[in-house]
Copies of this chain bind each other. A is one copy, B any other.
C-alpha cells in the first residue's frame, strides 16, 4: 500500500518525535518494560497529552523506530530506534567516582602488558556491569629485537623471538636429526643476525645449504613467519563473562552469546570489523552475527603513535546504558593509549 507520508530524509525526525523516541528508549533501558504513551507524556516535558504522543508513536512505529510486543502493550525500541538514540546522543561523561577508580588503577598497575590488559578487562567489566573485551595489538609491524634458538634436547629446540613492542613469542622446532649444542648455538647466531631489525612482513634471505645449521635456520624462520597470515598475534582478554548471565533472560541466549565469546578469533574480527567500518556502537543485527542479535557492542580504539594498536569493547543487551558504556570504553581506551603510548615521555623525566 502506498503511504502518503513523505519522508525524504528518513533518518531525521522532527523535534517532537525525537523527544518521544528518546523518552521511550531511555525508559525502556531503565525499566526493561514496554513503555506507554502516558508515561512518555509525563516524563518528557513536551506539554502534550498522551493521545498526541500516541499518534506520534504510531507514526514512529510505521517508520520502524518502535515496535509493539502485542496490541495493548507499550512500545519497545527497535534496533533502528536504538541507533537513532545513540547517534543523537549527548555523549555522556563518566562519573567522577569511576574516573577516580580508573586513574587510580592506571597509576598503580604494574606487570607485563598482558597482565595489564587482563586486569583492565576485569576493571571495565566491573565498572559497567557488562562483559568487557580488550584486544591487544598484533606485532605484525613491530621489529624483531632478538631471536634466539634454545636447545631443549637433541630433538627439540625453541625459537624465542622478542619484538620491539615487548612481546615475546616462542616456536618449537623438532628437526629430524640430532642437534648438538654447538650446532644450535651457531644456528641461533645466524637466526639472530638474519632476523634482527626485520618485521614479520620482511622477506629474509635464508641459506640454501643442506647442513644442519642451515636447515635449523630455515625451519626457524619458516615457523616464525608461518604465524603471520592468521590474526594470531591479537590477544583477547575477556572480563566479566558472567555478566552475560544477567544481561539476558533467556538461558538459550546466554548460551549462544557465551559460545561466541569462547571463539576468540571471532571476537577479534567482530571488533576489528567494527573499527574498520568506523562504528563505535553496533546494535543488534548490525554486528553481523545472528547469535548476537540481542546484543549491543560498544568499541573504542586504542592508538599508539597514531596507529590502531588495539581496542576495548563492551558487550551488553541492546537495551544497554549506552552513555555509560561509551564513556567508560572511551575513558579506558584513552587511559590505555596514554599508558602504553605516552610512557616513554614520562620515563624520560
Give Cα A258–Cα B153 distance, bound, in whole angstroms: 40
In the complex, identify which listed stretch (A81-89, A159-167, A270-278) lies at the interface while the others stay far away.
Answer: A159-167
- Identify the closest chain B residue to A259 (Cβ): B242
**Which chain B residues border A251 with CB–CB below 8 Å?**
245-246, 249, 251, 254
In the complex, identify which listed stretch (A17-25, A144-152, A319-327) lies at the interface while the others stay far away.
Answer: A144-152
Q: Does A212 reach chain B (CB closer than 8 Å)?
A: no
Q: Is the CB of B170 within 8 A of A152?
A: no
**Which chain B residues border A151 with CB–CB below 8 Å?**
145
**Which chain B residues border A111 with CB–CB below 8 Å?**
172
Q: Mark A177-207, 1 if CB is under 8 A from B, else 0.
A: 0000000000000000000000000000000
**Which chain B residues border A150 with CB–CB below 8 Å?**
145-146, 162
Q: Is the CB of A174 within 8 A of B241?
A: no
Q: How far is the CB of A130 from chain B (nearest CB, A)?
A: 13
**Which chain B residues border A344 with CB–CB below 8 Å?**
153, 155
- Identify the closest chain B residue to A238 (Cβ): B262
Q: How far is the CB of A112 from chain B (nearest CB, A)?
A: 6
A241-B241, A251-B249 are known contacts. Are A158 and B166 too (CB-CB below 8 A)?
yes
Q: Does A156 reach chain B (CB closer than 8 Å)?
A: yes
**Which chain B residues border A153 with CB–CB below 8 Å?**
344
Give Cα A240–Cα B254 distance, bound, in whole angstroms: 13
Q: Is the CB of A172 within 8 A of B112?
A: yes
- Identify the closest chain B residue to A251 (Cβ): B245
Contact of A255 among B146, B174, B245 (CB under 8 A): B245
Give Cα A252–Cα B155 distance, bound, in whole angstroms: 51
Q: How far is the CB of A258 from chain B (nearest CB, A)?
A: 4
Q: Does A5 reach chain B (CB closer than 8 Å)?
A: no
Q: Mark A123-163, 1 if CB is under 8 A from B, else 0.
A: 00000000000000000000001101011110110101010
Give Cα A224–Cα B160 distance, bound, in whole angstroms: 17
Q: How far is the CB of A146 from chain B (nearest CB, A)?
A: 5
Q: Does A292 reach chain B (CB closer than 8 Å)?
A: no
Instruction: Identify the 5 closest CB pairs spanning chains A and B, nearest first.
Output: A242-B258, A245-B255, A242-B259, A155-B347, A150-B162
A-B contact list, 11 entries, CB within 8 Å: A111-B172, A112-B172, A160-B160, A160-B162, A162-B170, A166-B170, A168-B168, A241-B241, A242-B256, A242-B258, A242-B261
Give the B-binding residues of A (Cβ under 8 A): 111-112, 145-146, 148, 150-153, 155-156, 158, 160, 162, 164, 166, 168, 170-172, 174, 239-242, 244-246, 249, 251-252, 254-256, 258-259, 261-262, 344, 347-348
